[in-house]
Structure 1
Amino acid sequence: MSTTGLGSLPGDEIREWTKVLLEAVDIPFLAELPSRPYGDMLSRAVAVLNELAADLQPAGWRLTGGGDPRASLDQRRARSLLAEDLDALEELADGYTGPLKLQLTGPWTLASTVELPRGDKVLADHGARRDLAQTLALGLSDHVAEVRRRVPGAEVVVQIDEPGLPAVLAGAVPTASGWSKHRSVDGPGAVELLSLVTTQAPTVIHCCAARPPIEVFTKSGAAGVAVDISLLNNAAWDQIAIAAEAGTTLYAGLIPTTGALPNEEQAAGPLVRRWRELGLDPELLKKVVITPACGLAASPSPADARSRLELLRRTADAVAEAAENS
């Protein structure tokens, strides 16, 4: 069984975290440190948008007119920070071979968060949200190629973060006025744009919701789905079971991001129990990747976050033992 994290971590020391991640988890990843200016998940995505310009307003990121990315000082700063992080990764991962994960905000979460030049969300404009998704896919392609160049032994895995997609599908994203909601997007429409960003590398789509749209993720070409096990309702588990039996890898969020740490048996228990209740093959359980419930940026300290990452391996061993005994 493998372990990994879901992207965000506390603190601002990218070099220290890169060293830790190359040792602490089976699938190291390029950390997101949102406590730094331009270090959050949205800024990371804006940094890879090579053909769209955006600037940072008090309300968040907004696309700008003219189509010249060089016009945005904020975007250049976000790109500079990403380049610094890649420099650290290249140096510290010298000679590394194996899986290496990159995280990027997905097209639907980006469209429901980033504003158009006139002020409403990109989600409001069908053409604009497709342009954004296409540009994101092109930027991701360049990003993946850059990481492969810097770390030649890396087997790149891409994690697409879509925390906003359930609200998009439900028609629950407020309009600029706040008096109404944007029209809901249907499943095929959601698949269409997600499919643009699942072709650059093996892709896992992450969504912490009680009922993440697993079917949308798998139909878009995702090889894996990352979820918070503690939040899943029965309908979500039914979709997880179907996906697992079809060969989709489950990234199971078992370690809480804050609060008291469980022991490994307590952390493994909810996954193992539900797996048995659903009558799923124990051999499939051995293929699950163990993760924290979500990103660890809310952890009170880097030391606390590191303890949670260290618990991943012990939890994976407990899950593997339970699978052997099933």
Structure 2
Amino acid sequence: MSDLPSGVATGIGSLPGTDIGEAAGVVFGELPEWPHLPELPARGLGSDLIGRGAGLLEGLPVQWWAFRWEIADLAGIDARRAADFLERDLDALLEVDASGPVRLNAVGPFTLAANLWRRTGGAMLADPGAVADLTASLAEGLRNHLAAAQARMPKACLSIQLDEPSLPAALAGRVNTESGLDFYRRVPVEVARDRLRELTEALGVPVVVHCCAPDVPVGLLQEAGVGAVAIDLTLLDLDDVPRMDALGEYLDGGGRLIAGVVPAIGQPRPGLDKEAADRVLSLWHRLGFSPDLLPQRVSVSPTCGMAGASPDYSRAAMEACREAAKRLHG
């Protein structure tokens, strides 16, 4: 299994617009050291995070029904549209001719389970057996997705990013039931760790987990075999001792961090790169690590996906990430 880059600029996932060829060209041009295949949710249903992930499932047909994605007997028209979007996205990789690291993106199993409904009602998260089946199905779908991407970019070194914004809520028992008046039972830490480990071991490429919540379970993710975690550093309180200790232990144990420090939306302006680099340096100084270790452990990214940004700002944010990474190399 190849290693992940570090000390470079990268992206998170989504971008504005509907032209995948143009979006891929921008990402591979602006973030050449670690580009990713962008997601374009503005294209509509099936290009959203959950629809895209549901479209990857093997042996679990889905449909869009009553304003949500659910398991079905046969794949619905919207699921077929999601599969078509994925195929077009993969074909865009033919134009970039990548020969270095490239990352694909997909929703993680717990966020998918929290947002994908069973035939009998309620989210799949309510049933541990359904979560296990979903994880196995997603693993198979992602293996096929990776193989299809590798066929289009035979010289690329692939990795995959799992987006898990709902993971902390699932662990804490904070995912709302269908009525909105109650919560699903919390997912035990060991269950989450085991499901994620099954997935990372099945894929055969390095795995990044992105979570845009303040309470990312970095220790759990490290135990699950994740190669790097991508977090929004602007949500991290540097005076929160337990969370800082957990992050410090993760990094001290060899963990890699993709530091989300450039705002995902805004206006292009001078100084974005310096502010981003300063945020990383503040964290590093607070943790007490050697400056020489920083480029070996930390890459720089926007705080989250940039689907809500303007095209001009998304380019400016990628440039700021690139310049911030250079500053941190010092």
The amino acid across from 2:87 in the alignment is A
Residue 258 of structure 1 and its aligned partner are, at CA, apart by 1.7
The CA RMSD measured in Å over matched residues stands at: 1.3
Q: 1:52 aligns with which of 55, 60, 68?
A: 60
Task: Judge conservation of contact 1:100–1:154 (CA < 8 Å) in 2.
Answer: yes
Distance across 2 between alignment mates of 1:116 and 1:152: 38
Q: Secondary structure of the equivalent of 1:198?
A: helix
1:174 aligned partner: 176
The amino acid across from 1:214 in the alignment is V
Residue 237 of structure 1 and its aligned partner are, at CA, apart by 2.3
Structure 1: runs of 5 or more not aligned: 322-326
Taking structure 2 as the reference length, the TM-score comes to: 0.92
Q: 5 Å matches for 1:112-191?
A: 112-191=114-193
Residue 280 of structure 1 and its aligned partner are, at CA, apart by 1.0
1:226 aligned partner: 230
The amino acid across from 2:89 in the alignment is D
The amino acid across from 1:286 in the alignment is P
2:300 aligned partner: 290
Q: Secondary structure of the equivalent of 1:175?
A: coil
The amino acid across from 1:123 in the alignment is L
The amino acid across from 2:229 in the alignment is V
Task: Judge conservation of contact 2:262–2:273 (CA < 8 Å) in 1.
Answer: no
Identical-residue share of aligned pairs (%): 37
The amino acid across from 1:44 in the alignment is R
Residue 251 of structure 1 and its aligned partner are, at CA, apart by 0.2
Task: Judge conservation of contact 2:106–2:160 (CA < 8 Å) in 1.
Answer: yes
1:324 aligned partner: none
Task: Judge conservation of contact 1:255–1:293 (CA < 8 Å) in 2.
Answer: yes
Task: Judge conservation of contact 1:101–1:159 (CA < 8 Å) in 2.
Answer: yes
Distance across 2 between alignment mates of 1:77 and 1:232: 38
2:96 aligned partner: 93
Is 1:2 the counterpart of 2:12? The answer is: no
Structure 1 stretches of 4+ moved >4 Å = none
Distance across 2 between alignment mates of 1:226 and 1:7: 11
Q: 2:248 aligns with which of 219, 241, 244?
A: 241
Is 1:34 the counterpart of 2:41? The answer is: yes
Q: Which moved more, 1:109-118 or 1:40-49?
A: 40-49
1:307 aligned partner: 316
Distance across 2 between alignment mates of 1:223 and 1:240: 14
Distance across 2 between alignment mates of 1:249 and 1:192: 20
Distance across 2 between alignment mates of 1:207 and 1:256: 15
1:64 aligned partner: 72
2:4 aligned partner: none
Distance across 2 between alignment mates of 1:121 and 1:176: 8
Q: 1:19 aligns with which of 4, 12, 25?
A: 25
Q: Which moved more, 1:225-234 or 1:100-109?
A: 225-234
Residue 161 of structure 1 and its aligned partner are, at CA, apart by 0.6
Q: Secondary structure of the equivalent of 1:108?
A: helix
Task: Judge conservation of contact 1:191–1:220 (CA < 8 Å) in 2.
Answer: yes
1:217 aligned partner: 221
Task: Judge conservation of contact 1:252–1:289 (CA < 8 Å) in 2.
Answer: yes
Distance across 2 between alignment mates of 1:126 and 1:274: 37
Residue 72 of structure 1 and its aligned partner are, at CA, apart by 2.3
Residue 239 of structure 1 and its aligned partner are, at CA, apart by 1.7
Residue 105 of structure 1 and its aligned partner are, at CA, apart by 0.4
Give CA deviations for 1:62-115 in whole Å, capped at 9, x if unaligned. 1113xx5xx42221111011101111112x123x20000001100000001110
Task: Judge conservation of contact 1:244–1:284 (CA < 8 Å) in 2.
Answer: no
Task: Judge conservation of contact 1:214–1:236 (CA < 8 Å) in 2.
Answer: no
Q: 2:259 aligns with which of 236, 252, 262?
A: 252
The amino acid across from 1:10 in the alignment is P
